[in-house]
């Protein structure tokens, strides 16, 4: 294979490794905010890897983030799908 063929292939493989995890909101002291108690703090769905690195979408209040690190589905109408009630 020519190197010009390998570079786009390598980029494609790296792009495919992107994933999203949810992160709970934190208060001023750095403590996690429980979305059961505070529905206005549902957390975020954050991208890792590839072009999605650092991209985030606020979780839907119905499907909030109740535990950091769980997989989530970003960029849905109404907010990201971050968990189940």
* pTM: predicted TM-score of the whole model, two decimal places: 0.73
Summarised one tens digit per residue, pLDDT across range 42-56 is 999 999 998 899 899
Structure confidence by residue, pLDDT tens digits, 66-84:
999 999 999 888 899 999 7
Looking at residue 62, its pLDDT comes to 92
> Distance between CA 67 and CA 54 in Å, rounded?
19
Q: What per-residue confidence (pLDDT) applies to 4?
A: 46
Q: Are the C-beta atoms of 66 and 36 separated by less than 8 Å?
A: yes
Predicted confidence at residue 44, as pLDDT, reads 96
End-to-end CA distance of the chain: 50
DSSP letter at 15 equals H
């Amino acid at each position: 294979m020519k190197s010009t063929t390998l570079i786009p292939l390598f980029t494609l493989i790296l792009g495919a490794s992107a994933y999203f995890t949810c992160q709970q909101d934190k208060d001023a002291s750095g403590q996690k905010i429980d979305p059961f108690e505070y529905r206005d703090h549902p957390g975020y769905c954050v991208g890792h890897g590839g072009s999605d690195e650092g991209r985030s979408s606020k979780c839907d209040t119905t499907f909030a983030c109740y535990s950091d690190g769980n997989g989530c589905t970003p960029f849905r109408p109404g907010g990201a799908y971050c968990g189940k009630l």
